[in-house]
Structure 1
Amino acid sequence: MEVVEAGHQPDTAHALRLGPACRAPVAALRPADSPRTTGEDPEHVRLLAESEDELPPIIVHRGTMRVVDGMHRLKAAVLRGDREITVRFFEGSPDEAFVLAVRSNTGHGLPLSAADRRAAAVRILESHPQWSDRAVATAAGLAARTVAALRSRIPAPAPAPAPHGGTDTGAPWQHRVGRDGRARPLDSSEGRRLAGRLITDAPDASLRTIAQQAGISPGTVRDVRDRLRRGEDPVPLRVLTAAPPPERARDDAHTVVRLAPPGERRTALADSLHRDPSLRLSETGRLLLRMLQVRTLPPAQWERIISTVPAHSTGMLSAAAAECAEAWQQFAARMERRRCAGE
């Protein structure tokens, strides 16, 4: 059996396995678990049926006999009256088969629509929550920031055990697997604080030694060391607000924001900004504060709004909200780069 590498795409086996090309009865195949929400394009099927060229093998999930990639080719074969079609069988789980279907449909043939790619990304996030935003984005043909915005609207999965062979000691699995298959901690704040203590106790220790002890990368250790030299907290504000560590007393301006639930964090941040006279006394600052105020509604208000949206508008509003979230992600990234440049 041939091993087709997944382009460093993480999955259970870190590779997608396909058998050799063979012939299979058309009647034995089942419709695809397709990422196409609108189904196949009849005109594309007709063009394929009229083609005299030999069509590439379709991919079929052996466990279910569902088509993974090639529904247009299968329907073209049916239209021509063919009893058999060339296939390659995929050995893997149904979830892996769906990921392969998405990757195949974003890499060749009739491309997926933007809505189909977003819907596929949400499904992959639900079946593979440990994958990084960039890994999911590669599979779905989206930008990583778009996947991050989609992930923020999905309830967090229940804690799972640490990956097999990891160094965890029974704590919940809080890692993300990147495109290279490597697991990285989701929240680096505790590792940063441990690295800060290790650097203080052994300032001559190498970055790699401290990284191994703290469970973070040497590059993160270097950043911690530089921050300590400047007299700063080893954990940047972006880490504190994005993934708060366990509660602890901290006498600083971010304690309430960091320890509050997400909805309250947004309100606390907005209230703090509203007290800034440099924003309140400028036209662009007041515009920014008004934009933030709309996005800091309490959860109950959001629920009332959602319940009143007519069914025929939900798809369009979902797409518009995703685009707005992406714009705010870009805005946040530019603010962070500006903050870092001023340090």
Structure 2
Amino acid sequence: MLREVRDSDTVEVLIAELLPANSPRLAQVDEHIQVLSEADTELPPILVHRNTLRVIDGMHRLRAAQRRGATSIYVRYFDGDEREAFVMSVRLNSAHGLPLTLADRKNAALRIINYHPEWSDRAIAALVGISDKTVGAIRRREGDNLPQPAARIGRDNETYPLSSMQGRLRASELFRQNPNATTREVARLAQISATTAKDVRNRLLRGEDPVPPKQRENRGAAAGEAPVRTGGPARRPPTIALSRLRTDPSLRFSESGRTLLRWLEALGSDPDEWVSIADSVPSHCAPAVAEMARQRSEDWRSFALALDRRVQATS
């Protein structure tokens, strides 16, 4: 994501040929220039954009050299476009020399957001030296003035979709298939951040939907559907409840618990799988299978009622 400064030969260039920096600094600091101009040691070479001869890093050193009466200065060249040159300027000014003020950093963040709207808030924050929340606030303030990419590039150079809903659903399926998978493994396969993968795992362990309520509502709104409200508690998808039960030590480490898990796994197919199975049942067998399903549904209802009564008795 960030171009590196390659080692290049130091060359002497006439100061009159150089253009002033497109710097993240809102103003130069005269006191710092004076200190540099009075220094006994030779100042390090400045960094210059080769294509435009515009200073990238070292404007204070350049002004100090002019105060000394110099007409030339040693430079190193940077190869890249002007946007990359500005990002490099921010990177170098944030890392050494006279620190950038908070106003400088916010100004730099705003310009980088406009140059690279696809970069994540955390990536920009790490580069500029402010919090990702501040970057997010700047981005929201710009609003419709910015392009709206479908994904963003994180600090790890990985691309993440802005809506993590599909990634969360994929991660929940991966955790269901392999409860011992690490969050980093799942994050890589589902193309979500490790933080999001960890949140998905924690939600599954609590028996919750892997997608937060707000994202689920947005999903319904995007499809032209109103969120469904019911009088009773929200039902957990069977695969999520089963994932939680699989990790319960009282079930995993007892014979009766393992028997229950095997039984539930055999019956816990997704609705789409049941539809597929129904389609594959021979027509002449369908009435008998349907009757068995109805009987089993009654058995399940009785089983659920027995469990409910047990919970009520102990609460």
TM-score range, shorter chain: 0.5 to 0.7
Q: For 1:111-150, list aligned pairs within 5 A.
A: 111-150=99-138
> For residues 142 and 243 of structure 1, what CA distance do their matches in structure 2 show?
32
Alpha-carbon distance change, 109 to 89 in structure 1, aligned in 2, over 3 angstroms: same
Q: Structure 2, unaligned stretches of length 5 or more?
A: 231-315
Aligned to 2:15: 26
Could you say which structure has the larger radius of gyration? 2
Alpha-carbon distance change, 49 to 244 in structure 1, aligned in 2, over 3 angstroms: farther
> How much does 1:127 deviate?
0.5
Q: What does the per-residue CA deviation read over 1:135-181, in whole Å, with 9 as the maximum and x for residues that have no partner?
A: 1112212122211211111225435xxxxxxxxxxxxx522222222
Normalised TM-score (structure 1): 0.57
1:58 partnered with 2:46? yes
Alpha-carbon distance change, 109 to 228 in structure 1, aligned in 2, over 3 angstroms: closer
1:154 partnered with 2:131? no
CA contact (8 A) 2:121 2:133 kept: yes
> For residues 220 and 85 of structure 2, what CA distance do their matches in structure 1 show?
35
> For residues 220 and 45 of structure 2, what CA distance do their matches in structure 1 show?
49
CA contact (8 A) 1:187 1:243 kept: no
| Residue in structure 1 matching 2:78, options 81, 87, 90 | 90
Aligned to 1:271: none
Q: What does the per-residue CA deviation read over 1:220-255, in whole Å, with 9 as the maximum and x for residues that have no partner?
A: 4564455346442221136558999833533149xx
> For residues 208 and 102 of structure 2, what CA distance do their matches in structure 1 show?
43
Aligned to 2:57: 69
Alpha-carbon distance change, 22 to 220 in structure 1, aligned in 2, over 3 angstroms: same
Aligned to 2:222: 246
Count, aligned residues? 225
> How much does 1:203 deviate?
4.2
Aligned to 1:185: 161
Normalised TM-score (structure 2): 0.62
Q: Helix, strand or coil for the counterpart of 2:78?
A: strand
Higher relative contact order (Cα pairs below 8 Å, separated by 6+ residues)? 1
| Residue in structure 1 matching 2:69, options 64, 74, 81 | 81
Q: Tell me the percent identity.
A: 44
Alpha-carbon distance change, 106 to 59 in structure 1, aligned in 2, over 3 angstroms: same
> For residues 220 and 81 of structure 2, what CA distance do their matches in structure 1 show?
35
1:204 partnered with 2:204? no
CA contact (8 A) 2:49 2:77 kept: yes
CA contact (8 A) 2:168 2:211 kept: yes
CA contact (8 A) 2:159 2:191 kept: no
Q: Helix, strand or coil for the counterpart of 2:21?
A: coil
CA contact (8 A) 1:18 1:90 kept: no
Alpha-carbon distance change, 178 to 23 in structure 1, aligned in 2, over 3 angstroms: same
> For residues 229 and 182 of structure 1, what CA distance do their matches in structure 2 show?
27
| Counterpart residue type for residue 49 of structure 1 | S
> For residues 79 and 102 of structure 2, what CA distance do their matches in structure 1 show?
29
Q: Helix, strand or coil for the counterpart of 1:142?
A: coil
| Counterpart residue type for residue 109 of structure 1 | G
Alpha-carbon distance change, 204 to 111 in structure 1, aligned in 2, over 3 angstroms: closer
> For residues 141 and 221 of structure 1, what CA distance do their matches in structure 2 show?
26
> How much does 1:81 deviate?
1.8
1:102 partnered with 2:79? no
CA contact (8 A) 1:190 1:245 kept: no
Q: What does the per-residue CA deviation read over 1:298-327, in whole Å, with 9 as the maximum and x for residues that have no partner?
A: xxxxxxxxxxxxxxxxxxxxxxxxxxxxxx
1:232 partnered with 2:208? yes
CA contact (8 A) 1:16 1:92 kept: no
> For residues 104 and 52 of structure 1, what CA distance do their matches in structure 2 show?
24
> How much does 1:19 deviate?
2.2
> For residues 83 and 219 of structure 2, what CA distance do their matches in structure 1 show?
28
CA contact (8 A) 2:48 2:55 kept: yes
> For residues 108 and 210 of structure 1, what CA distance do their matches in structure 2 show?
38
| Counterpart residue type for residue 92 of structure 1 | G
Q: Helix, strand or coil for the counterpart of 1:152?
A: helix
1:17 partnered with 2:10? no
> How much does 1:74 deviate?
0.7
> For residues 118 and 219 of structure 1, what CA distance do their matches in structure 2 show?
26
Alpha-carbon distance change, 31 to 245 in structure 1, aligned in 2, over 3 angstroms: farther
> How much does 1:116 deviate?
1.4
The structure with the greater share of residues assigned to helix is 2
Alpha-carbon distance change, 139 to 220 in structure 1, aligned in 2, over 3 angstroms: closer
1:41 partnered with 2:29? yes
Alpha-carbon distance change, 240 to 72 in structure 1, aligned in 2, over 3 angstroms: farther
